[in-house]
Copies of this chain bind each other. A is one copy, B any other.
Amino acid sequence: LKNSSFSIIPIGGVEEIGSNMTIVRTENEDVVIDCGLLFPYEECFDINYLIPDFKFLDPKRVKSLILTHGHEDHIGGIQHFINFFPDATIYLTPFCLNLIQKKLSESKTNFKYVIYNSDSQLIFDTVNIFPIHVNHSIPETHGLVIRDKELNWGALYISDFKVDLHSSHEPPIELEKIKLLLQVCKRTAYFLDSTNIVYDGKTSSENELNLDLTQLINSSQKRIFLTLFASNVHRASYIAQAALNAGRKIVLMGRSVRHYFEAGYNSKIIPLNPENFLEPQAVKDSNEKILVILSGCQGDFLSALRRFSFGEDSNLKPTPDDLIIFSSKVIPGNEKKIYRIYNKLSEFGAEIVSANDALIHSSGHPGKEDIKILIANFKPDFYFPIHGESYLLKKHFEFIKSHYDNIDCRLIYNFHEIKFESSIPKIIKQDKLDPVIIHGKSLEIEKSQISQRRKMATQGTVFISFIKQKQLLKISTIGLPLMVENLLPKLEQKLLHQINNDLQSREDKYFIDQIKISTRQFFNNYLGYKPVTEFHLL
């Protein structure tokens, strides 16, 4: 890279959703944008999450991490990042700092940080980065304008946003500032969010929800239980205030709702102190008019919503006199978990209102009309769809191609380096690194081991130990139909026969392999599948 140039390299969040991480590479430094986590496409059996593989980066070159906002797919890998790059400075906003401090408090991790806001300029060796206030579904979200010092190139990078011109709790996205910052550059590029690109319209304003939310709260005589994405503290705060106005007491249920409420209050974004709300125990047997805000709108197994819906919460159980409001959407993959909750609540006779029944949820991502507003405000020379799966990137690409003749749109994927050094950005494919799988105490677990787990889960296990000298054989199974207990004496006979006839004098490796093969075949005959077999020769 020449002094005056820079590259942008997404290493997560493009071609998949989640684990957002992008490198701004200059001659001497790799500035990292975000460090998120990802949930895998295929069942990995209760693993915690995946994170990008930091081995792609040279620790000597990583001095800075800029966090654009506090969603888990942007900050979830932070503990691992700090372990790997302990000297890096983290640039973040007060709300995001609150979230991270809480997250890291258990492990007592220290880190260096700098608070920024939308007036800041972040100065690096050959690039300046300007945070841009944007609208999204969590407070204090920022896009970034990245410019080299000679103003050859200016790039607007916004992974998550919508254009909300009428929000009552924050200003609209800073369109004018984007224009001012970019129009002085010789060449410009956009990197924009693809999440909602299949939506033809304009994403609705957070403000448009107030009517239906207030009406639901004011007109119902029932107890109200409401779930939402807990990180949307503006909405949670609006709902709590509306309930207080309607004479309802507020109860928070679930770690995540409490966590974000506290961060919102501590960073002075919302005026409601969660300490003034009631505890679930306090309304256990009371007839008070309450509104309970619960974590778990995606139906997570250990969430407050699921516990409540299954009648497993010790203080509050669903009744026909309850109204359950889902101020949320279903993230693809969670349908079954959420419908199961609908079913359980229905069996208790509770009434359910979801975003299908009233305007009570709005996305945080841009529809086609939001994108058009950005381009009408300032038209870039180049355009790169980001933040979305391959299908959405392609849809985004096709939308730009078909609507804007004079924008050069390119499809990029993770580990593509977009090098802004001549008049046309050069795209260089870097070697891909698979994300790292994290389980238990923040430990890496290998793909091969996940595949072993899958085999045990689908085929059960057989454990055999054998004392050669004594001809003593012991067999036990885990996760096989109970009827196989009756087969074990037969298997024992078969194996002992095989040992006496063929294996007695053979070397250990051959011996073990043959026993395993026979065992797996034996079960395959009865069950139609071959259990994982472990053999101890003693």
Contacts and interface: CB of A to CB of B under 8 A. Distances in A.
A538 B467 contact: yes
A53 to B, nearest CB: 16
A443 B481 CA distance: 8
Contacts of A445: 480-481
Interface centre among A332, A347, A453, A472 (most CB of B within 10 A): A453
A532 B527 CA distance: 23
Contacts of A536: 463, 465, 474, 476, 536
A332 B343 contact: no
A175 interface: no
A528 to B, nearest CB: 4
A484 to B, nearest CB: 10
A160 interface: no
Contacts of A452: 460, 478-479
A443 B532 CA distance: 18
Interface string A408-441: 0000010000000000000000000000000111
Given A339-B391, A456-B461, A482 B41 contact: no
A336 B41 contact: yes
Interface string A382-394: 0000000111011
A438 to B, nearest CB: 10
Contacts of A467: 467, 538
Contacts of A446: 481-482
B479 A453 contact: yes
Contacts of A476: 534, 536
**Main SS of chain A's interface residues?**
mixed
A529 interface: yes
A441 B343 contact: no
A342 interface: yes
Given A390-B343, A391-B342, A449 B479 contact: yes
Contacts of A344: 390
A483 interface: yes
Contacts of A465: 465, 474, 536, 538
Nearest to A342: B391
B454 A457 contact: yes
A340 interface: yes
A457 B457 contact: yes
Interface string A497-531: 00000000000000000000000000000111100
A346 B534 contact: no
A212 interface: no
Nearest to A348: B390
Contacts of A28: none
A343 B393 CA distance: 9
A405 interface: no
A460 B532 CA distance: 12
Given A450-B479, A456-B456, 20 more contacts: A41-B336, A41-B340, A46-B458, A332-B336, A332-B339, A333-B336, A335-B335, A339-B391, A342-B390, A343-B389, A343-B390, A346-B394, A347-B413, A440-B527, A445-B480, A446-B482, A449-B480, A449-B481, A457-B457, A465-B538
11 contacts: A15-B347, A43-B43, A343-B389, A346-B391, A441-B526, A441-B528, A444-B481, A452-B478, A465-B538, A472-B538, A478-B534
